[in-house]
Structure 1
Amino acid sequence: MRRALSSAVVALLLALSAGCSGDETDPGADPTPTPKATATAVPGPAQGACYQMTFEAALAATSQAQKVACSEEHTAMTYLVGRLDTLVDGHLLAVDSDRVLADIAATCQRRLGGLVGGTRDDVRLSMLRPVWFTPTLAQADAGASWYRCDVIAVAGQDRLAPLTGRLAGVLDTPQGRNRWGMCGTAQPDSPDFERVLCSAPHSWRAIRIVDLGSGRYPGAAVVRERGQAPCEDAGREVADDALNYQWGYEWPTREQWQAGQTYGRCWAPD
Structure 2
Amino acid sequence: MLRRRAALTRLLPVLVLSLILGACTDGSSPKSPEAAPSSSAPVERPSATPVPAPEDRACYRLAFEDALAPTTAAATTACDGKHTSMTFAVGTLDTLVDGHLLAVDSQRVMDQVAEACPARLSDFVGGTLRDRRLSMLRAVWFTPTVEQSDAGADWFRCDVIAVAGQDALAPLTGRLSGVLAQPEGRERWAMCGTDDPDSPDFERVLCSQPHSWRAIEVVPFEDGRYPGVEAVREAGQTPCEDAGRSVADDALNFQWGYEGPSKEQWAAGQTYGRCWAPD
Under a length normalisation based on structure 2, what TM-score does the superposition of the two structures give? 0.82
Once the two structures are overlaid, the 10-residue window that deviates more, 46-55 or 109-118, is: 109-118
Q: State the Cα RMSD in Å.
A: 2.2
Structure 2, unmatched stretches of 5+, are: 1-16, 34-46
Structure 1, unmatched stretches of 5+, are: 10-37
Match of 1:108 among 105, 108, 117: 117
- Tell me the secondary structure at the aligned position of residue 277 of structure 2: strand
Q: What is the 5 A alignment of 1:1-270? A: 1-3=17-19, 39-270=48-279
Check conservation: 1:8, 1:137, Cα contact below 8 A: no
Distance in 2, matches of 1:268 and 1:204, equals 5
- Tell me the secondary structure at the aligned position of residue 159 of structure 1: coil
Partner residue of 1:28? none
Identity of aligned residues (%): 67
Cα shift at 1:76: 0.3
- Whichever of the two has the greater Rg, that structure is 1
Cα shift at 1:40: 4.3
- Tell me the secondary structure at the aligned position of residue 81 of structure 2: coil
Cα shift at 1:207: 0.5
Distance in 1, matches of 2:87 and 2:234, equals 38
The structure showing larger relative contact order (alpha-carbon pairs under 8 Å, at least 6 residues apart) is 2
Cα shift at 1:153: 0.2
Check conservation: 1:125, 1:182, Cα contact below 8 A: yes
Distance in 1, matches of 2:31 and 2:105, equals 6
Check conservation: 2:216, 2:275, Cα contact below 8 A: yes
Check conservation: 2:31, 2:107, Cα contact below 8 A: no
- Tell me the secondary structure at the aligned position of residue 155 of structure 1: coil
Once the two structures are overlaid, the 10-residue window that deviates more, 110-119 or 128-137, is: 110-119
Distance in 1, matches of 2:56 and 2:225, equals 35
Distance in 1, matches of 2:200 and 2:70, equals 31
